[in-house]
């Protein structure tokens, strides 16, 4: 396709007898580069090509959830648990501290806000358009960068864990998680939601091809779920160990690095040959 476009462009460019590139040649090359970048940015990325990036983001989620629950006693991405905490607190079945309820409510609301904003924008611009996937991942990473700064010893004392405004960190984590899950769900790769695990466990053990060979084409979904579980549990284990022997902000910085790797993977992912959705 690119060769045909290039031939089409140069067909109308005047040729010169002088050696070297003429002004028209340089201009044509600039046009071709611009068109190539435009095509790359607007490509719809293959669902299968997004699998490595989604697995990396699942690893980052595992890291963050381990340290988030340890620090705040609530989750940034597992909103099923948070919804139950808020429900039983509202009914009065279980007595919860005001601090925990505030944190849980902030996490729940921020997650839904992130999912709503990122999800709706994705539908408008194209859920698998490369530009949107990269912008979405970059903004999610930015949330983590800010959270890392607030958590670090150089951040404001009011946002440190246990301080008055530590909910701000949880909000940033939840916003990131909401946007990430929305992007994952819209990518058409339903086996890799990048945060929830209950449905993945059930789908994995109930898979019709659970005992098929690893190379069986019909077992692709099972394989993806297996990788996903490994990345989530592995990330949680690594996050718990790092939290115990280092600090929360270091875990967040590592998660930033993982998100950047995922961003690079999206940039290099193969297109499916169409634009937009």
Which CATH number is 200's domain given?
1.20.1250
Give pLDDT tens digits along the chain (277 positions).
444 444 443 443 444 444 555 666 666 666 566 667 878 888 999 999 999 999 999 999 999 999 999 999 888 988 888 888 888 877 776 666 788 888 999 999 999 999 999 999 999 999 999 999 999 999 999 999 999 999 999 999 999 988 899 999 999 999 999 999 999 999 988 899 988 888 899 999 999 999 999 999 999 999 999 999 999 999 999 999 999 999 999 999 999 999 999 999 999 999 986 444 4
Are the C-beta atoms of residues 228 and 57 closer than 8 Å to each other? no
pTM over 0.85: no
Residues 140, 20: one domain? no
CA–centroid distance for 145 within its chain: 14
Spell out the alpha helix ranges (H) of 2-50: 2-10, 23-41
Are the C-beta atoms of residues 173 and 145 closer than 8 Å to each other? no
Among 114, 106, 72, 65, residue whose Cα is nearest residue 86: 106
Among 88, 250, 111, residue whose Cα is nearest residue 179: 111
Residues 52, 35: one domain? no
Residues 82, 156: one domain? yes
Among 103, 70, 80, residue whose Cα is nearest residue 237: 70
Residues 184, 93: one domain? yes
CA dihedral 195, 196, 200, 201 (to 10 degrees): 120
Q: Report d(CA 277, CA 51) in Å as an integer.
A: 17
Residues 125, 86: one domain? yes
Residues 21, 137: one domain? no
Q: Report d(CA 6, CA 259) in Å as an integer.
A: 35
Residues 65, 194: one domain? yes
Write out the residue range of the structural domain in which residue 33 sits: 2-41
Q: Report d(CA 256, CA 274) in Å as an integer.
A: 31
Residues 37, 106: one domain? no
Residues 25, 82: one domain? no
Residues 236, 263: one domain? yes
- Classify the phi-psi angles of 200: left when phi > 0, otherwise alpha if psi is within -120 to 50, otherwise beta: alpha
Residues 160, 27: one domain? no
| Overall domain count for the chain | 2
- Number of neighbouring beta carbons within 10 Å of residue 275: 14
């Amino acid at each position: 396709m690119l060769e045909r476009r290039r031939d089409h462009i140069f067909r109308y460019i005047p040729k010169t007898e002088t050696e070297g590139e003429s002004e028209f040649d340089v201009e044509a090359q600039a046009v071709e580069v611009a068109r190539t970048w435009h095509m790359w940015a607007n490509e719809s990325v293959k669902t299968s090509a997004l699998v490595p990036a989604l697995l990396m983001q699942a690893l980052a989620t595992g890291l963050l959830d381990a340290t988030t629950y340890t620090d705040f006693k609530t989750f940034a991405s597992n909103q099923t648990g948070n919804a139950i905490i808020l429900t039983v607190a509202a009914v009065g079945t279980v007595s919860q501290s005001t601090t925990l309820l505030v944190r849980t409510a902030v996490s729940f609301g921020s997650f839904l806000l992130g999912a709503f904003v990122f999800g709706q924008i994705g539908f408008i611009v194209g859920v698998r358009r490369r530009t949107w996937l990269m912008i979405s991942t970059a903004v999610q990473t930015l949330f983590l960068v800010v959270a890392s700064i607030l958590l670090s010893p150089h951040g404001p004392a009011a946002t440190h864990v246990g301080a008055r405004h530590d909910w701000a960190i949880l909000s940033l984590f939840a916003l990131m998680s909401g946007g990430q899950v929305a992007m994952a769900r819209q990518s058409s790769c339903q086996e890799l939601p990048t945060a929830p695990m209950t449905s993945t466990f059930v789908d994995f053990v109930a898979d019709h091809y659970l005992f098929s060979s690893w190379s069986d084409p019909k077992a692709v979904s099972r394989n993806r779920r297996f990788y996903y579980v490994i990345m989530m549990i592995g990330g949680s284990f690594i996050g718990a160990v790092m939290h115990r022997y280092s600090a929360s902000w270091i875990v967040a910085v590592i998660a930033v690095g993982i998100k950047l790797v995922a961003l690079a993977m999206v940039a290099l992912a193969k297109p499916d040959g169409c634009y937009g959705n």
